[in-house]
Amino acid sequence: MKFYIRTLGCKMNALDSARVAAALQAAGHELVGEAEAECVFVNTCTVTAEADRKSRKEVNAAGRMVEQVAVMGCGPRVDTGRWRQHSPETMVFTDETVLYERFGVQLDELPFPLGSRTRLPVAIQTGCDNLCSFCITRVARGPHANVPAEQVIRQVREAEEAGIREIVLTGINLAAWGAEDSNRAEQARLHLLIERILSETEMPRIRLSSLGPQYLHEGFFDLFSDPRLCAYLHLSLQSGSDSVLERMVRGHGTEEVRRIAEQARRVRPDVALAADVIAGFPEESDTEHRETLAFIKQIGFAKLHVFPYSVREGTPAAEMAQVKGDIRRERAAEIRELGRQLRRDFIASQMGQHFDVLVERGKSGLTDNYIRLRVPDEAGSEGTIREMTLTEETLAERL
């Protein structure tokens, strides 16, 4: 069978798609471009109603291109019946084991999911026990569970042997690693896992995906000065208003984020702080919106991912008084514009600095603090780490 995978959503979904692709290829199936595919797999996201809508749109689009479509991911796990009703002609899989059995994959011989010669996501945790009022992920991904440290170390070593130069530690609630209950932030031990990776492997670059602010303890910042850790912290902020964070049931306030910014910049002055922000959360007032704008500016985030709130049925937030859609969009646009200005300010502050850049396909690469640079032809092949200077000529981002 010739197949192609469409992936929506988070880095964990991307890793799941890479695993499925590797497993199907090991079973004799061929990964091809979508135009050549006999079967298209759609790895869905259902974190918001908008994500659910996009997933259904992708399934419909795939169905117009190929004879067979297979649906997998968080969508069917949350509402299998609705997906079967929506797509009666598709194959709907609620877990990878059933998918593997359907396509002849040997479960005891799953291959290493190598999708790139530069960086590789490594899952260290899955699921979540938290009760954020807007989120359905704990239903889609199940309870919080830690990947054992020994298994993580083994995967990192396999990545080294495959020539990977950067790993991205990934999870649904990544920073909660080590806790028995992800609601108990004081139990988190992410720093202990990072310490083992640093001491037991030679991986030159270790990047972290999205982090819950309440889980980063002093021990983490004791390690953060190590140059092998990328100077980039992406925080799952969601709002800069403490009253909104309380309605979100986020488990942290703005003070934890201020502490992280201060500690991170103390040990890594070139660190880039990024954040996810939801605009127009239920009952959000103009005052709370302005608090978020002021907080973002005060912290000086280098990068923002901004989303207007999208109602997700089955969550407490869906039952709250909703902010009008046009106001949500206006607030999201205002936060994005602030984010663009802060991005310009951050890059300007880094001009003239020297960075190690990991060369990717297309002759560009990322600094450890997430600035994309153009790489000259003589810099080396994909996977090479090259020292470069950030200048107007080398900057590959549009500001």
Segment 192-201, tens digit of pLDDT: 999 999 999 9
Task: List the one residue out of 291, 260, 290, 285 whose CA is nearest residue 275.
Answer: 260
Q: Is residue 114 a part of any domain in this protein?
A: no
Phi, psi of 93 (to 5 degrees): -115, 125
pLDDT of residue 379: 66
Task: List the one residue out of 347, 366, 370 whose CA is nearest residue 232.
Answer: 370
Are both 132 and 261 inside the same structural domain? yes
Task: Record the tokens describing residue 306, joined without a space.
Answer: 């901004």
> What order do you get walking across the sheet with 91-92 strand by strand?
30-31, 2-7, 39-44, 68-73, 91-92
CATH code at position 63: 3.40.50.12160
pLDDT of residue 358: 93
Are both 130 and 254 inside the same structural domain? yes
Are both 142 and 268 inside the same structural domain? yes
Q: What is the rounded distance in angstroms from the CA atom of residue 72 to the CA atom of residue 90?
A: 10
DSSP character at residue 324: P
Q: Is residue 396 a part of any domain in this protein?
A: no
pLDDT of residue 30: 93
Instruction: Give me the domain span that covers residue 36.
Output: 2-107
Q: What is the rounded distance in angstroms from the CA atom of residue 249 to the CA atom of residue 38?
A: 44
Q: What is the rounded distance in angstroms from the CA atom of residue 160 to the CA atom of residue 183?
A: 34
Q: Is residue 263 a part of any domain in this protein?
A: yes
Q: Is residue 184 a part of any domain in this protein?
A: yes
Q: Is the Cβ–Cβ distance between 358 and 117 less than 8 Å?
A: no
pLDDT of residue 109: 62
Single out the residue in 107, 138, 161 at which a domain terminates: 107
E strands, the chain, where? Answer: 2-7, 30-31, 39-44, 68-73, 91-92, 119-123, 125-126, 145-146, 166-170, 205-208, 232-238, 272-279, 303-308, 354-359, 364-366, 372-374, 385-389
Q: Is residue 234 a part of any domain in this protein?
A: yes
Single out the residue in 84, 107, 130 at which a domain terminates: 107
Are both 127 and 245 inside the same structural domain? yes
Cβ neighbors of 262 (< 8 A, separation 6 or more) are: none
Are both 54 and 154 inside the same structural domain? no
Are both 276 and 336 inside the same structural domain? yes
Band (307; pLDDT cuts 50, 70, 90): very high
Q: What is the rounded distance in angstroms from the CA atom of residue 269 to the CA atom of residue 263?
A: 10
Report the percent of the chain where pLDDT is more than 90: 70
Q: In this predicted model, which residue has the larger pLDDT, 174 or 379? A: 174
Are both 208 and 193 inside the same structural domain? yes
Token look-up 């450890």 returns: 368
Q: Per the structure, how many domains does the chain have?
A: 3
Phi, psi of 297 (to 5 degrees): -65, -40
Q: pLDDT tens digits for 161-188?
A: 888 999 999 998 999 999 999 889 999 9
Are both 229 and 266 inside the same structural domain? yes
Are both 180 and 293 inside the same structural domain? yes
Are both 321 and 335 inside the same structural domain? yes
Q: What is the rounded distance in angstroms from the CA atom of residue 355 to the CA atom of residue 323?
A: 43
pLDDT of residue 12: 86
User: Is the pLDDT score of 394 beyond 90?
Assistant: yes
DSSP character at residue 213: G
pLDDT of residue 177: 96
Long-range contacts of 253-262 (CB under 8 A, 24+ apart): 254/295, 256/213, 256/214, 256/216, 257/213, 257/295, 257/299, 258/299, 260/213, 260/216, 260/233, 260/235, 261/299, 261/300
Phi, psi of 137 (to 5 degrees): -60, -35
Band (112; pLDDT cuts 50, 70, 90): low
User: Is the pLDDT score of 89 beyond 90?
Assistant: no
Q: Is residue 394 a part of any domain in this protein?
A: no
Q: Is residue 382 a part of any domain in this protein?
A: yes
Are both 170 and 294 inside the same structural domain? yes
Q: In this predicted model, which residue has the larger pLDDT, 254 or 112? A: 254
CA distance to 178, 341, 375, per residue, from 189 (Å): 5, 35, 37
pLDDT of residue 382: 84
Band (141; pLDDT cuts 50, 70, 90): confident
Cα angle at 347 between 8 and 290, to 5 degrees?
70
Length of the chain measured in residues: 399
Q: What is the DSSP string of 141-171?
A: H-S-EEPPHHHHHHHHHHHHHTT--EEEEE-
pLDDT of residue 116: 63
Band (220; pLDDT cuts 50, 70, 90): very high
Are both 229 and 320 inside the same structural domain? yes
